[in-house]
Structure 1
Amino acid sequence: MRMRPTLSWTPTEEPPPGSTDLEPVADTLSAGGVLVLSGAGISTESGIPDYRGEGGSLSRHTPMTYQDFTATAQARRRYWARSHLGWRTFGRARPNAGHRAVAAFGRHGLLSGVITQNVDGLHQAGGSADVVELHGSLDRVVCLSCGTFSPRHDLAERLARANPDFSPTAAGINPDGDADLTDEQVGDFRVVPCARCGGILKPDVVFFGETVPAQRVEHCRELVREAASLLVLGSSLTVMSGLRFVRQAAQAGKPVLIVNRDPTRGDRHALTRVALPLGAALTTVAGRLGVPVGGETPV
């Protein structure tokens, strides 16, 4: 059993630069009790771009806010047209080596849990169990009037029937499953209402400008309290929804380690930030620990 690493610098000091040394990550995982917090960066190798990395979608795309979505029918038409097209591509994404490595660590009892900021479901597809989806999931839809949840594939079929000639070519796909379309391409796309009450349908995800449900946040805080350490994978930690758990862990004296190619807002709280591609980095760590990752998991 390896010894758990301890902080070698004070969080109030200048954070250490990005490293290529995976030994602290391997040491931490071997000690067990690791809580994983993942962001969009873990899914880029599956063909889903992140928000803020090099070539991130925020440089060309403004995500839909909750306020805009609920304000006008035109905003909802634009969202659902883009999301309906994006879902076709998004739904074909497959878990990559990073997702499979996280699942392998879990199967070998090295993790205390997984929290993901992603809405793509790739951790579960890769074999991870009991994943907390901090920002929800695109594979569910909720009615804002009656609160009924329904599968996304049911809505996709309804939208396809309502828009049989809708087949534009998107300029790109975004981490929220939204495709880049012009207003002209959106055209007169028909949005369908809730099949139960006729209300407004929304994907079961936390939009920009919307808050994460308090009960979910408290569940994540409890996971941090129970964990021995926190391993951040592929998140810039720019938004407070993820950064608060890094701060909580650091304040409790728990080691925080980050694997992310670019600097993050949480670097000052971390033992190390490893600036390597996630899939290769986590596969290397798994090899050092004798944890078989395996091939692609069927979906």
Structure 2
Amino acid sequence: MEAPELVALLQGRRVAVLTGAGMSTDSGIPDYRGPDSPPSNPMTIRQFTSDPVFRQRYWARNHLGWRHMDQTQPNAGHRALAALEHAGVVSGVITQNVDLLHSKAGSKVVIDLHGTYARVICLECGHTMARATLAELLEQANPGFADGATQLGGIAVAPDADAVVADTASFQVVDCPRCGGMLKPDIVYFGESVPKERVAQAFSLVDGADALLVAGSSLTVYSGYRFVRHAAATGKPVAIINRGRTRGDDLADVKIDNGCSPMLALLADELPGLSDRDQIVGVYRRSAHLSR
């Protein structure tokens, strides 16, 4: 597999990376908008806050789904980006994903643009807790619920750690242990804005780089697309790796219609600067083979 135009564009440049759901499909987490994705209606913040039945159904499904996401492991693409950062090629990653797979893979500079599945926040008092802590409280309030549901391997899990569970009517929702307020995963839902300081950090990462690489995002959501617009407007080259069209194709200097894992492993192979090069590349080739 070759992509000489991609390698040539990024050669000798410090690269900021923006990733989306297509980055994690090889780890078993589905994409909302990929060409092979089934129809999906991601939850909005209005639905979550205004409809107690909807919220009950969400927490019942999430009670199972978050465990699947917590157990998910990085793929060859995540590991390739971590190695490219270690080599000084990648300056950091802005991710629209909430799965923490970049951090699990060893990337150090990661901006979790939309938050993460692993933390919960109270919408009333701002108290936060680990998702694992809430899991214990939910299990106490719903003994046996997890055991009675379909085994994890058979549950369809969405990119926000939701899982498809049929019967949720008896599920008991847990409120904030500090103030009794409404708990919500610390994730930016549709209809919410990304915190301003997080956006500023992401713009700073793009400004400090020589190029922007987009991996696995259709750029449909403006929260990610804005960084492509910004990079293009400031004269920085933009490369996109994604299966299918993206909103940013017209702004890209190079567009590769392919999966993230093989193309990022290729970059780890071709771009200079990797220490212990042969050993690292061998790891990614084996990882890519195992993930197929």
- Judge same fold: TM > 0.5, yes or no: yes
Matches of 1:130 and 1:284 in 2, distance apart? 21
Q: Secondary structure at the match of 1:123?
A: helix
2:20 alignment partner in structure 1 = 39
Correspondence 1:134-149 to 2 at 5 A:
134-149=113-128
Q: Secondary structure at the match of 2:228?
A: helix
1:133 alignment partner in structure 2 = 112
Matches of 1:24 and 1:54 in 2, distance apart? 24
Q: Cα offset for 1:263?
A: 1.0
Q: Cα offset for 1:171?
A: 5.0
1:262 to 233, 238, 244: 244
CA contact (8 A) 2:16 2:90 kept: yes
Amino acid at match of 1:64: M
Greater helix share, structure number: 2
1:250 alignment partner in structure 2 = 232
- Percent identity reads 50
Matches of 2:204 and 2:98 in 1, distance apart? 21
CA contact (8 A) 2:121 2:184 kept: yes
2:8 alignment partner in structure 1 = 27
Query: Which consecutive residues of structure 1, in runs of 5 or more, have no partner in the other structure?
Result: 1-19
Correspondence 1:219-234 to 2 at 5 A:
219-234=201-216
1:50 to 27, 31, 47: 31
1:77 to 56, 80, 93: 56
The size of the alignment, in residue pairs, is: 273
CA contact (8 A) 1:173 1:180 kept: yes
Mean Cα deviation higher: 191-200 or 165-174: 165-174
Per the normalisation by structure 2, the TM-score is: 0.89
CA contact (8 A) 1:64 1:208 kept: yes
Q: Secondary structure at the match of 1:91?
A: helix
Matches of 2:118 and 2:84 in 1, distance apart? 25
Matches of 1:123 and 1:22 in 2, distance apart? 23
Amino acid at match of 2:221: V
Correspondence 1:43-192 to 2 at 5 A:
43-57=24-38, 59=39, 61-166=40-145, 167-169=148-150, 172-182=156-166, 185-192=167-174
Mean Cα deviation higher: 281-290 or 256-265: 281-290
CA contact (8 A) 1:28 1:34 kept: no
Q: Cα offset for 1:280?
A: 1.3
CA contact (8 A) 2:239 2:252 kept: yes
CA contact (8 A) 2:99 2:117 kept: yes
CA contact (8 A) 2:35 2:243 kept: no
The superposition leaves residues 169-225 of structure 1 with CA deviations (integer Å, 9 ceiling, x where unpaired) of 26511011111233xx11210111111111111000000111111221122112222
Correspondence 1:206-245 to 2 at 5 A:
206-245=188-227
Q: Cα offset for 1:32?
A: 3.0
Matches of 2:253 and 2:109 in 1, distance apart? 27
Matches of 2:9 and 2:101 in 1, distance apart? 24
Q: Secondary structure at the match of 1:31?
A: coil
Q: Cα offset for 1:276?
A: 1.8
Amino acid at match of 1:141: V
Matches of 2:44 and 2:64 in 1, distance apart? 19
Q: Cα offset for 1:21?
A: 4.9
Matches of 1:112 and 1:281 in 2, distance apart? 18
CA contact (8 A) 1:172 1:180 kept: yes
Matches of 1:29 and 1:87 in 2, distance apart? 36
Q: Cα offset for 1:135?
A: 0.4
Q: Secondary structure at the match of 1:280?
A: helix
CA contact (8 A) 1:32 1:109 kept: no
Query: Which consecutive residues of structure 2, in runs of 5 or more, have no partner in the other structure?
Result: 275-279, 288-292
